[in-house]
Amino acid sequence: MRRRTLLLAAAASLSACVTHERPNEPGDACSMFENQDGWWRAVRRAERRWGAPPALQLAIIRQESGFDHNARPPRGRFLFFFPGRRASSAHGYAQALNETWEQYERARGDDGLDRNEFSDATDFVAWYCAGNRRELGIEFRDARSHYYAYHEGRGGYRRGSYRGNSTLQAAAGRVQNWYDVYSGQLDRCEGRLNSWWPF
């Protein structure tokens, strides 16, 4: 009996793991979630906790890391040859900075969260966007403005530091476009996903 209980617990633990594989079709939210059920549960839990919709979470993560769990900024060069420091401490799916990630852990009351885990990273994005809405009045459907605040920080957003930065404006435009596309896709398949992967 004990052996059976241990086997069942191990199976449940394995089934709860979220894969680190990058999606084959990052432009198709339905396909992504149908093939990675742990991701669907993760974005829905984050939405329930913070209010930010799955499409917004996905759009920001796609821009930040391309769904690469181990993404980091490139290293600079020291003496033109040796690898130098990275431009920032950004890391993981959400490219969260050390200081901001620590703020998130304090908000969650859990210092064991992992930027390499999709479930923690997408919850972080939803938490940050909820703060944008609360402190800056940005509606969730305004993915462009959320990305400005995400990239520049809320202080930078208030100062308008994104103005005149054509590279950042292009990135924010992509985030808005992906949000719009993902929202339309999920309108069509959300019921099916909920029936397949209840949470």
Question: What ranges do the domains of the chain cover?
Answer: 47-196
Q: What is the pTM of this model?
A: 0.83
Please say whether the beta carbons of 96 and 90 come within 8 A: yes
Q: What pLDDT is attached to residue 91?
A: 78
Report d(CA 54, CA 11) in Å as an integer. 27
For residues 134-142, average pLDDT: 98
- Averaged pLDDT of the chain: 85
Q: What pLDDT is attached to residue 4?
A: 40
For residues 73-100, average pLDDT: 64
∠ CA 13-64-52, nearest 5°, is: 65
CA dihedral 106, 97, 145, 22 (to 10 degrees): -100
Q: What pLDDT is attached to residue 89?
A: 60
- Contacts of residue 131, defined as CB under 8 A and 6 or more positions apart, other chains included, come to 154
Instruction: Categorize the per-residue pLDDT at 8 as very low, low, confident or very high, splitting at 50, 70 and 90.
Output: very low
* Res 17 pLDDT > 80: no
- What's the Rg (C-alpha) of the chain? 18
Pick 47-196's CATH classification: 3.40.50.10300, 1.10.530.10, 3.40.50.300, 3.40.190.10: 1.10.530.10
In the block, tokens 């009045």 appear at 137
Report d(CA 145, CA 162) in Å as an integer. 10
Instruction: Categorize the per-residue pLDDT at 86 as very low, low, confident or very high, splitting at 50, 70 and 90.
Output: very low
Q: What pLDDT is attached to residue 70?
A: 77
For residues 100-128, average pLDDT: 95
